[in-house]
Amino acid sequence: MTTAVLDEALELLEKANANLEPELLAAEAARDLMGRYVKAQRLIDFGIASLTRKVDNASEFARMTGTSVGKANAIVSTGKVLSSSPDLSTAFRTGAISIDQAAEIASAEESAPGAAAELVAVAQEHSFLVLKDKARKTKLEAEQHRDLALRQRLARSARSHRDEIGMVHIHLTLEPHMGTRLVNRAEAEANRLRREAKAAGREEPFERHLADGYAAVLSGTAKARPGRPELVVLVSHEVAKRGWTDVRGDEVCKIPGIGPVFPRVAKEIASDAFLNGVFYDGKDLRHFRRWSRHIPSEVAIALELGEPPDFDGVRCVDCGNHFRTEFDHVQPRAARGPTSNGNLKPRCNPCHQAKTKRDRRAGLLNPAET
In this structure, the answer to whether residues 58 and 103 fall within a common structural domain is yes
Q: Identify whether 185 is part of a domain.
A: yes
What CA–CA distance (Å, rounded) separates 110 from 85? 10
In this structure, the answer to whether residues 353 and 305 fall within a common structural domain is yes
pLDDT of 302 reads 65
Q: Give the domain-ending residue among 219, 248, 274.
A: 219
The residues, ordered by sequence, that sit 6+ positions from 44 with a Cβ below 8 Å of its Cβ are none
Q: Give the domain-ending residue among 112, 143, 174.
A: 143
Q: Identify whether 369 is part of a domain.
A: no
Q: Identify whether 366 is part of a domain.
A: no
In this structure, the answer to whether residues 239 and 168 fall within a common structural domain is no
In this structure, the answer to whether residues 71 and 168 fall within a common structural domain is no
pLDDT of 296 reads 60
In this structure, the answer to whether residues 124 and 174 fall within a common structural domain is no
In this structure, the answer to whether residues 137 and 194 fall within a common structural domain is no
In this structure, the answer to whether residues 89 and 33 fall within a common structural domain is yes
**pTM for the complete prediction?**
0.69
In this structure, the answer to whether residues 94 and 195 fall within a common structural domain is no
Domain that holds residue 178: 156-219
In this structure, the answer to whether residues 273 and 354 fall within a common structural domain is yes
Q: How far is CA 113 from CA 69, 89, 117, 128, in A?
A: 26, 14, 10, 21
The pLDDT profile of the chain, 370 residues, written as one tens digit per residue, is 688 999 999 999 999 999 999 999 999 999 999 999 999 999 999 999 999 988 778 888 888 888 898 899 999 999 999 989 999 999 999 999 999 999 999 999 999 999 999 999 999 999 898 899 899 989 988 888 788 888 999 999 999 999 999 999 999 999 999 999 899 899 999 999 999 999 999 889 999 999 999 999 999 999 987 666 778 888 888 998 899 988 888 788 988 888 898 999 888 888 876 666 665 555 554 444 444 455 566 566 666 777 766 777 777 888 877 777 777 777 776 666 665 666 778 888 888 888 888 888 877 776 444 4
**Are the C-beta atoms of 267 and 244 separated by less than 8 Å?**
yes
Q: Identify whether 51 is part of a domain.
A: yes
In sequence order, which ranges of 55-175 are alpha helices (DSSP H)? 58-65, 69-82, 86-93, 99-111, 116-125, 128-143, 148-155
**Angle between helices 27-51 and 99-111 in degrees, nearest 10:** 40
Q: Give the domain-ending residue among 113, 143, 173.
A: 143
Q: Identify whether 45 is part of a domain.
A: yes
In this structure, the answer to whether residues 20 and 136 fall within a common structural domain is yes
Mean pLDDT of the chain: 85
In this structure, the answer to whether residues 212 and 238 fall within a common structural domain is no
Q: Identify whether 340 is part of a domain.
A: yes
Q: Identify whether 202 is part of a domain.
A: yes
How many distinct structural domains can be found in the chain? 3
What CA–CA distance (Å, rounded) separates 208 from 190? 8
In this structure, the answer to whether residues 249 and 203 fall within a common structural domain is no
Is the N-terminal amide bond of 350 cis, ω within 30° of 0? Answer: no
Residue 261 buriedness (CB in 10 A; 0-12 / 13-18 / 19+): buried
Q: What are phi and psi of 362, to 5 degrees?
A: -80, 0
Q: Identify whether 149 is part of a domain.
A: no
pLDDT of 300 reads 65
Percent of the chain with pLDDT over 90: 46
What CA–CA distance (Å, rounded) separates 283 from 255? 19
Q: What is the dihedral of CA 139, 110, 79, 72, to 10 degrees?
A: 50
What CA–CA distance (Å, rounded) separates 106 from 138? 11
